[in-house]
Every structure is written in C-alpha cells, then in structure tokens.
Copies of this chain bind each other. A is one copy, B any other.
Amino acid sequence: MGVTLGALAAQIGAELQGGAPDTVVHAVATLQNAGPGEISFLANKGYRRFLAQTRAAAVIVAPEHAAECPVAALVSGNPYASYARAAALIVPRPPPRSGVHPGAVLEADCEVHDSAWIGPHCIIESGVVIEAGVQLAGGCFVGTGSRIGAHSRLAANVVICHGVTIGQRVSIAPGAVIGGDGFGMANDNGRWLDVPQLGGVRIGDDAEIGANTTIDRGALEDTVLEEGVRLDNQIQVAHNVFIGAHTAIAGCVGISGSARIGRHCMIGGGAGIVGHLEIADGVIITGMTMVTKSITRPGIYSSGVPAQDNESWNRNYARFRQLDRMARRLRALELRLGSGNENN
C-alpha cells in the first residue's frame, strides 16, 4: 500500500520540503536501513548522526534538522507524533475479523455484537457484553457481567475477571489479568482471613495494558484507570488504585493499594509506589524510585541508585552504614572549632 509524500504530509501535519509530492512511499524504516520508497524519522537526537547518510525517500524531522536532511524532509513540530501517524497510514493494521470461532465457549445471556470477533478457545461467561468491533484473540477469558467497549482488542490469553468494565479502543496485551482479587486479608491471631474483594475494575477509553500486567479489583469500590492510561508489561496495580488520564507507566512498576496517581504522570520502570498516598498531576518518577509519601507538586522525583563498579560500591556502602555516626563526628568537630552553626 503506497501513499504519496504530498498526501502523507497533509495527513500527519508536516510540511514537505525538498521532495516531489507525488513520490510514493510504502514502508517505514530506520535512518540507517531505509531505502527508496521508505520513510524514516529523527526524533531522538542520539540518532542524528545517521541523518546525513540516510537513503530514505523522506525523513520526518523537526524544523531545526530540516536543513541537514539530505533527502526530502517532512518537517513537523513533533516528529515522533507525525511518525506515529505516518506509520499507521503506511502500514495499516490487519482488518478486523468478525464472528465467533466454533472453538469458543459462550455461556447463556452474554451479548456479543455481530461485528466483534471471539477467537478460538475464548470463554465468555454469562452476562458479558462485547461491543462492536471488539477483537478477542484466542484463549481469552471474560468473566461474569464484564463489558468490553467497542473496538477494544484483547491479545491471546488475556483474563478479564467478573465485573470489569473496559472502555472503547482499549488494547490489552497477552497474558494480562484484569480484576483478580486484591491482596486483602485481616490478621486473626496469626492467621490470615480473606477480606472479600467486592469492587470491580474500570478502564477508560483508549487505555493500553501491557503483557502479563495485573490489575486487581477493588475491595469495596473499583480500581480505576482513566482514559488514555498506558501501562507497560509486568506491572502490578493493587486494589483501589486510581490512575489519572494519560499517565504512562513503564515496565515492572508496582503500585500498592489505594494509591491515587494523577493525570499526565510518567513513572519509570521498576518504580514502587506505596499505598494510600496521592501523586499530583504531571509528576515524573524516574526508574526504580520508591515513592513513600504523597507528592503534591509536579516535578521529577528520584531514588533509583545508579551502578558503580562493585569495589567502589562496597566501599561507599560500608561508609553509608556509618553515616549517622559520621554526621555526629562532623558536628563534634564543628562545635569544637566553633563553626557549623546550622542546626544538625
């Protein structure tokens, strides 16, 4: 499937500079590997060194790089977003299927729209509603009373437990589990009693959930992801967490129960969020950081510890274990010398 550069520029919000509008492109590739008929893009400055040698038909670039583009430039104020649109146009998704595979099992009283596709070995329990255009690849489970909004796509072996509501155009990667019981238990003389997990999960429109990510149902009220939330793989979202719209969370993050995360946040891989706290809108948490208290102002927050060579690390860490004592010794010197009037 080909698109002309002229049509492409119009559709992705870019201006074509230095190329023929009727040149047809049919594929996308990296700056290094693109050839005739292929477009590429420059969004991460680390790859700028490859621009001069590219053989792409055209490159999507920011205005400041247009001059050094050796081929046709599609100039955009947001080259990565323009590239995302271009790639979706040039390499369209396979067309949706419709129907119910004979190897799927549908219980009574579930409602599947004619335009939806239920793949082999899926299980749709009673009271489920599957809206228009939904795509369920094989081996998915949708529990009693759940609803999957129009045009959402569940990859293979996704599990949606009972009482879960998924919005429209949501994408869920293989092996994700939405609506498992939260980790709720009461200690009764040293033994754990289950606390019934009676809430559900609500996921807003256009959200994306990564592979093998888990989102627990609420204890009494729902666990909520607002529209446009992006979760990467291997994330754990505990019961009654709230994640605001358009927040993006990288892989291996764990979020404890009843944490409330704002909108437009970005959380780096491997971070941990303690329960029962609030994170304001627009907060950025860097990788492997542990958030233990509410964060009330936008900004960047960190505690991930960068690697050192092991010998230096061990030497410094040994001192860390003495740090309180070091601080007292420093204070003693200051007092003796009559300096250090800070209140330590």
Contacts and interface: CB of A to CB of B under 8 A. Distances in A.
Interface of A: 28-30, 33, 43-44, 46, 78, 80-81, 83-85, 87-88, 91, 93, 101, 103, 105, 119-121, 123, 137-139, 141, 143, 155-157, 159, 161, 171, 173-175, 177, 180-181, 183, 185-188, 190-196, 198, 208, 210-212, 214, 216, 220-221, 228, 230, 232-234, 236, 238, 246, 248, 250-252, 254, 256, 264, 269-270, 272, 274, 276, 284-293, 295, 299-327, 329-330, 332-334, 336-337, 339-340, 342, 344
Given A121-B121, A211-B216, A214-B234, A305 B303 contact: yes
Given A183-B250, A299-B310, A319-B323, 7 more contacts: A88-B194, A121-B123, A141-B174, A173-B181, A232-B236, A232-B238, A316-B320
Contact of A141 (B156, B290, B304): B156
B302 A290 contact: no
B233 A256 contact: no
B339 A333 contact: yes
Contacts of A196: 84, 87-88, 91, 93
Contact of A210 (B155, B180, B326, B327): B180
A84 B186 contact: yes
A212 B212 contact: yes
Contact of A248 (B185, B276, B304, B329): B185
Given A312-B321, A323-B320, A175 B173 contact: no
B287 A228 contact: no
B306 A293 contact: yes
A306 B300 contact: no
Contact of A230 (B88, B183, B254, B339): B183
Contacts of A291: 306-307
Contact of A183 (B251, B264, B307): B251
Contacts of A309: 299-302
A327 B324 contact: no
Nearest to A82: B186
Nearest to A238: B251
Given A180-B211, A256-B269, A198 B302 contact: no
Shortest 5 CB-CB distances between A and B: which pairs?
A300-B310, A141-B156, A180-B211, A123-B138, A252-B254
Contacts of A333: 330, 333-334, 337, 339-340
Nearest to A188: B81
Nearest to A254: B252
B233 A81 contact: no
